[in-house]
A and B are shown apart, each in its own frame.
Chain A
Amino acid sequence: MQRESLSDWLDRHAGRVFLAPAILLVLAFSIFPLIISAWLALSRFQLSANGWDITFVGFNNFKKLLFGSQQFHFVGTFAPVPVLGWLILAAVSALVLWGLWRYLSSGAISILGIIGRLISFSLAILLALMFTFTLGDKAQIGSLATTLFYVVVGVGLQFLIGTGLAWLCAQKIKGRDFFRVVFFVPMMVTPVGVAYMFRMLADMRQGPISPIWRGLGFGDFAWSTNAWSAKTMVIIGDTWQWVPFIFIVMLAAFESQPRDEIEAAELDGASPWQIFRDITWPSVAPVAATIVLIRVIEAFKIIDLPNVLTNGGPGIATESLTLHSFIDWRTLNLGGSAAVAYMLLFVSTVTCVSFFNFVVMPMRARRT
């Protein structure tokens, strides 16, 4: 074998050369910090005379979050359960049982599948229980529940509005391009800016909506001092920002429906609703599932809006998990901060992977 020249050797290994920087970066700034974070989550951080002291405390931080002194912050405070709470518990349990039954009777069972489903379903039940017990009037939901609220209600709302707008825009209207451009803008506005914009808009004394608000008789209501109205404000801001994302993609999906099938159905006398249900929806469902997944992944990380719009308040009412972690970090409670971050990682990973496996994949399979 002759000795290869340097340039030939580089050429042969071009693939690795191209890929290496990316992998190195991920290792150094993603995986490595992940491990350090795990370690931090298991320890207590204290300032001492010469810098800092880190002592291993096992799962103490997590215990504090779930059962101990930080429980009010993370999980929430308990109270007698309202009807809504029972409804949520019932709905989630029904869904879980149905999912389990479907899987077990499908005949294609594997160890990994069972373990995976057990993880997903138990998490779902636990979260439902948490909601149930913290929704009461005297109760207060913690940052975990708040984040889930943002994710589920927020993304849900964005999806409904975005898809609705996309469907309207996909009709035979003029000016579709104009709407496309205009609707796209909010997505790119710096979230911190969006937060402040809505802070101004929501001001009920000097804001632009205040005349209407006063006219409706809500005059004295300060939305920022009520837990749920504050959360709603965050959702409104988030929705304003992210509807375009869903809109653009769903519009493209609607525009690429199978025209032939629709025309055939029209000739056969199908009503618009039937066409939507039987032809349009199956063709856009996989895209819809994917886009919702992407939005869910990002929604878990929300921080700009709660921080700037409401500063996490009133109290901790609008704190997302990221904000919670940040506040802990600011108070030099590194261990607690890492523990919260890890809970966020765990919940969001299980949710996203579950969503992917149970919703996105089946939708894609149906299409083929």
Chain B
Amino acid sequence: MTVTLDKVAKNFGATRVLHELDLKAEPGEFVVLLGASGSGKTTALRMIAGLETTTSGTITIAGRDVTNVLPKNRDVAMVFQSYALYPHKTVAENIGYPLMIRGLPRAERDKQVRDVAGQVELIPYLDRYPRQLSGGQRQRVALARAMVRRPAVFLMDEPLSNLDAKLRGHMRAELKHMQHGLGITTIYVTHDQVEAMTLAHRVALLEGGKLQQLAAPKVIYNDPENLFVARFIGSPPMNLLHGKLDAGRFLLGDRVVPTASRQSSADAVLGVRPEDCRLAEAGGGTLTGEVYATELIGDHTLVTVKVGADMLTLKGSKDFDAPVGTPLGVAIAPERTYVFDGPSGARLR
């Protein structure tokens, strides 16, 4: 089902927490709201659920205006960060709760609960209580409870953040598989860019209550709209060098880096991803600098190079062992660079 947010904004008292947000999730799409705490992503999610009111704007689900509709009538299911399992009910009762409210007869209810429990491998635990389950199992119960209703929309509020790293990776794959199988529109909130990049069809990056970019992961990675997006996405983060831009030529000290842009700016930032830089001989390459630090990761070495007043990180071979202070050069492919306006952060194309 389509979910549309049309100029949705939210104030808490005098503070504007979400500036007018426009978002449209297509049926079956997995949209991730990505951002740091305070970016407004959770507020947006809760407004879709109806747990917060909108200050302005409209929300529609499956073509129906739900802006003023009570949460229970919106046909959305939510998985909370804390799972929100009812401690005094068994796993089966937790999962079956939405069905019980709708008045489904017991036999039918049990059947559907078993069905869903089977899909998340919880059948042996149906009679246990939440306090007897592990973190991963509780998460699956929360998931099952959302699934059993076959809602129009899934909402997920950082469902994986309470799991340990290993389990998180496993559950990511499970979630993706499940969503693909069910084909239900999903809006997913997280601060973890890895989750966003791996799970989403499209990512909505939010900061300070404003939408920075809404695009597929590949586009966000390779074609960032502004400095914030460029910095947020990517690990290790994009290298940023400060200088001037003159008709597409980036001036860094006495070096010139050709870029794909054709604009000018007195205060510009050049961005280039670590994987698009290569080590070169001192004096060769686009830029010169000296080794500042090296970190052996295992299969490669992270080399930090001091270029003028800026630092640049790139990946060297696992055998790289030049000492600190060694002069060397860095080669940058011009078509892989991005230029941003210093003060505004906007991308200069």
Residues of chain A within 8 A (CB-CB) of B73 are: 8
Let me know if A11 is at the binding interface, CB within 8 A: yes
Let me know if A1 is at the binding interface, CB within 8 A: yes
Residues of chain A within 8 A (CB-CB) of B72 are: 11
Let me know if B133 is at the binding interface, CB within 8 A: no
Q: Is the interface of A mostly helix, strand, loop or mixed?
A: helix
Tell me how far the C-beta of B228 lies from the nearest C-beta in chain A, rounded to whole angstroms.
37
Closest chain B residue to A8, Cβ basis: B70
How far, in angstroms, from A163 to B70 measured CA to CA in the complex? 52
Let me know if A12 is at the binding interface, CB within 8 A: yes
Closest chain B residue to A4, Cβ basis: B70
Chain B 8-44, CB within 8 Å of chain A: the 1/0 string? 0000000000000000000000000000000000000
Closest chain B residue to A1, Cβ basis: B68
Are B70 and A11 interface neighbours, CB within 8 A? yes
Task: Tally A residues with Cβ within 8 Å of B.
Answer: 4
Residues of chain B within 8 A (CB-CB) of A11 are: 70, 72
Chain A 2-22, CB within 8 Å of chain B: the 1/0 string? 000000100110000000000
How far, in angstroms, from A11 to B69 measured CA to CA in the complex? 11
How far, in angstroms, from A52 to B70 measured CA to CA in the complex? 56
How far, in angstroms, from A243 to B73 measured CA to CA in the complex? 54
Closest chain A residue to B71, Cβ basis: A11
Residues of chain A within 8 A (CB-CB) of B70 are: 8, 11-12
Task: Tally B residues with Cβ within 8 Å of A.
Answer: 4
How far, in angstroms, from A12 to B50 measured CA to CA in the complex? 12
Tell me how far the C-beta of A6 lies from the nearest C-beta in chain B, rounded to whole angstroms.
13
How far, in angstroms, from A1 to B68 measured CA to CA in the complex? 9
Q: Using a CB-CB cutoff of 8 Å, which residues 8-55 of chain A contact chain B?
A: 8, 11-12
Chain B 320-349, CB within 8 Å of chain A: the 1/0 string? 000000000000000000000000000000
How far, in angstroms, from A304 to B22 measured CA to CA in the complex? 69
Tell me how far the C-beta of A1 lies from the nearest C-beta in chain B, rounded to whole angstroms.
7
Tell me how far the C-beta of A146 lies from the nearest C-beta in chain B, rounded to whole angstroms.
51
Chain B 51-93, CB within 8 Å of chain A: the 1/0 string? 0000000000000000010101100000000000000000000
How far, in angstroms, from A8 to B70 measured CA to CA in the complex? 8
Closest chain A residue to B68, Cβ basis: A1
Closest chain B residue to A12, Cβ basis: B70
Tell me how far the C-beta of A16 lies from the nearest C-beta in chain B, rounded to whole angstroms.
15
How far, in angstroms, from A8 to B72 measured CA to CA in the complex? 10
How far, in angstroms, from A128 to B73 measured CA to CA in the complex? 65
Tell me how far the C-beta of B71 lies from the nearest C-beta in chain A, rounded to whole angstroms.
10
Q: Using a CB-CB cutoff of 8 Å, which residues 145-190 of chain B contact chain A?
A: none
Residues of chain B within 8 A (CB-CB) of A1 are: 68
Tell me how far the C-beta of B208 lies from the nearest C-beta in chain A, rounded to whole angstroms.
31
How far, in angstroms, from A22 to B214 measured CA to CA in the complex? 50
How far, in angstroms, from A305 to B94 measured CA to CA in the complex? 54
Tell me how far the C-beta of B177 lies from the nearest C-beta in chain A, rounded to whole angstroms.
37
Closest chain B residue to A5, Cβ basis: B73
How far, in angstroms, from A1 to B73 measured CA to CA in the complex? 15
Residues of chain B within 8 A (CB-CB) of A12 are: 70
How far, in angstroms, from A199 to B6 measured CA to CA in the complex? 78
How far, in angstroms, from A310 to B68 measured CA to CA in the complex? 65
How far, in angstroms, from A11 to B72 measured CA to CA in the complex? 10
How far, in angstroms, from A8 to B68 measured CA to CA in the complex? 12
Tell me how far the C-beta of B53 lies from the nearest C-beta in chain A, rounded to whole angstroms.
11
How far, in angstroms, from A8 to B74 measured CA to CA in the complex? 12
How far, in angstroms, from A1 to B72 measured CA to CA in the complex? 18
Tell me how far the C-beta of B219 lies from the nearest C-beta in chain A, rounded to whole angstroms.
39
How far, in angstroms, from A11 to B70 measured CA to CA in the complex? 9
Closest chain A residue to B72, Cβ basis: A11
Closest chain A residue to B64, Cβ basis: A2
Tell me how far the C-beta of B216 lies from the nearest C-beta in chain A, rounded to whole angstroms.
37
Tell me how far the C-beta of B174 lies from the nearest C-beta in chain A, rounded to whole angstroms.
35
Tell me how far the C-beta of A267 lies from the nearest C-beta in chain B, rounded to whole angstroms.
37
Tell me how far the C-beta of B244 lies from the nearest C-beta in chain A, rounded to whole angstroms.
52
Residues of chain B within 8 A (CB-CB) of A8 are: 70, 73
Closest chain B residue to A9, Cβ basis: B70
Tell me how far the C-beta of B214 lies from the nearest C-beta in chain A, rounded to whole angstroms.
30
Closest chain B residue to A11, Cβ basis: B70
How far, in angstroms, from A12 to B72 measured CA to CA in the complex? 11
Chain A 146-168, CB within 8 Å of chain B: the 1/0 string? 00000000000000000000000
How far, in angstroms, from A8 to B69 measured CA to CA in the complex? 9
How far, in angstroms, from A1 to B33 measured CA to CA in the complex? 30
How far, in angstroms, from A314 to B70 measured CA to CA in the complex? 67
Tell me how far the C-beta of B60 lies from the nearest C-beta in chain A, rounded to whole angstroms.
14
Tell me how far the C-beta of B103 lies from the nearest C-beta in chain A, rounded to whole angstroms.
13
Would you list 6 pairs from A and B whose C-beta atoms are within 8 A, ordered by A residue? A1-B68, A8-B70, A8-B73, A11-B70, A11-B72, A12-B70
Shortest beta-carbon contacts, A-B, top 3: A8-B70, A11-B70, A12-B70
